[in-house]
Structure 1
Amino acid sequence: MKATYKKHILNFKRPSGTSRGVLTEKETWFLLLEENGKIGVGECGLLRGLSVDDRPDYEEKLQWVCQNIHLGKDKLWQELLEFPSIQFGVEMAFLSLQAESTFELFPSNFTKGKDTITINGLVWMGEEAFMKKQIEEKLADGFTCIKLKIGAIDFQQELDLVTFIRKHFDEKTIEIRVDANGAFSPNEALEKLQLLSQYQLHSIEQPIKAGQFVAMQQLCKKTPFPIALDEELIGVFDYEDKMKLLDAIQPQYIILKPSFIGGIKGSLEWIEIAEKRNIGWWMTSALESNVGLNAIAQFTYTLNNKMPQGLGTGGLYTNNFDCPLAIKEGQLYYNTDLNWDFKF
């Protein structure tokens, strides 16, 4: 078996705002396997500034993987504990190599075009008018779950945006999730949650920065509506440590981004631990190209979680790869009339 890797820079169609700043491009890496005339493709979806494996020896580790590909998927996964995005890339590449079709990793009614995955409509941070325009577009497109990134503009303006949605749609018609990306300080978080709670929100992701276990535990205990941990899961590699984290904080939900938490195996560990504690979960992409998004979507479908998933990021880039993934009326589906165009 031969293994190689390639770097690819994805360019955003328009600058995309988060509480950590504005993104104009996204670096990603592909792991390519060749054996007996077959090709396997995996994406190592590194997100600079957030991924725990954003470190100087990242490319060196990819070289090591290519030199040691003979170790196989399971052994490599163990050796790559501190490189979760490469773990996922390795899993993906081996599944792809073994699959009948390079990009059909989990054959199902989803990949046959017979079933769909409900997803949320993502509204990026920006000026109030820009955010309002996005909200109007998502509602017109038929989404029944809207996710708002908050924490970058004036909080009152953000409340006004939520008011705008609720003025036209009640919580039975439109589910609203908000994602603070750790933007609130522990001192102000509960007060802000109480102000947000009047809008019947589904949940808030990561209201305060990760690593503040006592403050987050208190917040989860007192919150007027559910809290979902996101960044909090990053860098927690050991199964025992995962249990300790959820036991300490006791969140209402966790959000799983395979590229951040060790791919398929890492996600399944978190799900097992969460479900034993009656903690809900959903799956989210982390700005991967359509290669990674495709793997996450197919994997997610097999888990039979009926909540809206965070998988609507395929249209963000000017130079993504054409593929059968499509969105219609808040549903992600596989258009079997479309083909993959995976070229660099």
Structure 2
Amino acid sequence: MQATYHKYILNFKRPSGTSRGVMIEKETWFIVLEENGKKGIGECGILRGLSIDDRADYEEKLHWSCSNIHLGKDKLWEALLEFPSIQFGIEMAFQSLISENPFLLFPSDFTKGKKSIEINGLVWMGEEAFMKQQIEEKLANGYKCIKLKIGAIDFDKELQLLRYIRQYFTPEQVEIRVDANGAFSLSEALYKLNQLSEFELHSIEQPIQKNNTDTMSELCRTTPFPIALDEELIGVFSTEEKEVLLQKIKPQYIILKPSFVGGFRGTQEWISLAEKYNIGWWITSALESNIGLNAIAQWTFLLNNIMPQGLGTGALYTNNYNCPLEVSQGQLWYRTELNWDLNTADFI
């Protein structure tokens, strides 16, 4: 078996804002396996500035992984504990290699085009008018769940946007999730949660910065509506550490990005612990290309989680790979009549 790795830069169609800044491009890496004339491809979905494996030795570790591909998927997963995006890329590449079709990793009614995955519509941070425009587009496109990035513009303006949605749509008609990406200060978080509760939100992701577990635990205990941990899970490697974290904070939900938490295996560990402690969960992408998103979506369908998932990111880029994934009326479909267009992927 031979393994190679390749860098690819995805360009956003428009600058995309979070409380940590504005993104105009996204770096990603692909691992390609080749054996007996067959190829398998995996995506290492690193997000600079957020991924725990955003380290100076990242490419060096990719090189090491390809040089030691003979160790196999399981031993490599153990050796790459501190590089969750590479764990995911390796898992995905091995699954791709053993599949009849390198892009049909987990056959199901989803990949047959018979069933879909409900997803949330993502509204990026920006000026009030831009956010309002995005909200209107998502609602017009049939989304029953929208997720707003908050914490970058004036908080009162963000409240106005939520008020605008609730003027026209009840919680039964449109579920609203908000994601603060850790933007609230420890002292003001509960006050802001109480203000947000007026709009009957489904949940808020990561209201405060990670590693403030005492405050986060208190917030989860006293919050007027559910809190979901996201960044808090990044860099928690062992099963024991994961369990200690969930026992201490007792969140209402956790949000799982396979590229951030150790691929399918790492995600499944979190799911098992969450269900043990009656904590809800859902899966989201980490802004991978359609190659990684395709694998995550196929795997997610098999989990039978009926909540809207965060998998609607395929249309963000100008130079993504065309694929069978298609969003329609707030649902992600696998259109069997559509083909992959990999003309720009000279490494496949």
The two structures have a TM-score, normalised by structure 2, of: 0.98
> What is the aligned partner in structure 1 of residue 44 from structure 2?
44
Q: Measure, in 2, the Cα distance between the counterparts of 1:10 and 1:246.
A: 34
Displacement of 1:341: 1.6
Q: Give matches, 1:7-22, under 5 Å.
A: 7-22=7-22
Instruction: Tell me the secondary structure at the aligned position of residue 181 of structure 1.
Output: coil
Per the alignment, residue 329 of structure 1 pairs with 329
- 2:84 corresponds in structure 1 to 84
Q: Partner of 2:139 in structure 1?
A: 139
Report what 2:62 is aligned to: 62
2:232 alignment partner in structure 1: 232
Task: Let me know the Cα RMSD of the aligned residues.
Answer: 0.4
Which amino acid in 2 is paired with 1:59?
Answer: E
2:129 corresponding residue in structure 1? 129
Q: Which residue of 2 aligns with 1:73?
A: 73
For residues 99 and 340 of structure 1, the distance between their equivalents in structure 2, rounded to whole angstroms, comes to 16
Equivalent position amino acid for 2:324 in 1: P
* Matched residue, 2:164: 164
Task: Write the letter of the residue equivalent to 1:323.
Answer: C
Alignment of 1:290 onto 2:290:
yes
The superposition leaves residues 182-238 of structure 1 with CA deviations (integer Å, 9 ceiling, x where unpaired) of 000010000000000010000000000000000000000000000000000000000
How far the C-alpha of 1:157 sits from its partner, in A, is 0.2
Amino acid at match of 2:241: D
Following superposition, the deviation at residue 33 of structure 1 comes to 0.4
Residue 317 of structure 1 aligns with an amino acid whose one-letter code is Y
Matches within 5 A, 1:160-199: 160-199=160-199
Task: Name 1:149's counterpart in structure 2.
Answer: 149
Listed one character per residue, the Cα deviations across residues 140-182 of structure 1 (whole Å, up to 9, x for unaligned) are 0000000000000000000000001000000000000000000
Distance 1:271 1:187 in 2: 31
What residue identity is the alignment partner of 2:199? Y
Equivalent AA in structure 1 for residue 207 of structure 2: P
Determine the structure 2 residue equivalent to 1:214.
214
Letter aligned with residue 285 of structure 2: S
State the distance in 2 between where 1:146 and 1:338 align. Answer: 27
Looking at structure 1, the residues matched to 67 and 203 of structure 2 have their Cα atoms a distance apart, in angstroms, of 44
SS of residue matched to 1:4: strand
What SS does the corresponding residue of 1:261 show, helix, strand or coil?
A: coil
Runs of 4+ in 1 over 6 A off after TM superposition: none
Letter in 1 for 2:92: M
The structural deviation recorded for 1:79 is 0.3
How many angstroms apart in 1 are the aligned matches of 2:100 and 2:112? Answer: 14
| Inter-partner Cα distance in structure 2 for 1:134 and 1:40 | 37
SS in 1 for 2:183: coil
Separation in 1, partners of 2:296, 2:153:
31
Is 1:2 paired with 2:25?
A: no
- Kindly provide the CA deviation profile for residues 277-322 of structure 1, in whole angstroms up to 9, marking residues without a partner as x: 0000000001100011111101100000000000000000000001
Q: What one-letter code is carried by the residue in structure 1 that aligns with 2:64?
A: W
> How high is the sequence identity, in percent, across the aligned residues?
71
Matches of 2:254 and 2:66, distance apart in 1: 33
Aligned to 2:93: 93
Deviation at 1:120, TM superposition (A): 0.2
Q: Which residue of 2 aligns with 1:241?
A: 241
Residue type matched to 1:214 in 2? D
CA distance in 2, matches of 1:152, 1:283: 24
Is 1:30 the counterpart of 2:10? The answer is no
Distance in 1 separating the partners of 2:287 and 2:67: 28
Q: Provide the aligned length of Structure 1 versus Structure 2.
A: 344
- Distance in 1 (alpha carbons) for counterparts of 2:24 and 2:200: 33
Query: Any stretches of 5+ residues in structure 2 without a counterpart?
Result: none
Q: Secondary structure at the match of 1:137?
A: helix
Q: Name stretches of at least 5 consecutive residues in structure 1 with no aligned partner.
A: none
Task: Give the whole-Å Cα distance in 2 for the aligned partners of 1:153 and 1:88.
Answer: 34
Give the whole-Å Cα distance in 2 for the aligned partners of 1:165 and 1:283: 25
Report SS of the residue matched to 1:259.
Answer: coil
User: Residue 281 of structure 1 corresponds to which residue in structure 2?
Assistant: 281
Q: Distance in 2 between matches of 1:252 and 1:198?
A: 19
* Structure 2 equivalent of residue 313 of structure 1: 313
- Deviation, 1:57, is 0.4
Distance in 1 of aligned mates of 2:108 and 2:61: 33
CA distance in 2, matches of 1:276, 1:46: 29
* Matching residue of 2:203: 203
1:30 Cα deviation (Å)? Answer: 0.2
What SS does structure 2 have at the residue aligned with 1:46? coil
In structure 2, what is the equivalent of residue 265 of structure 1?
265
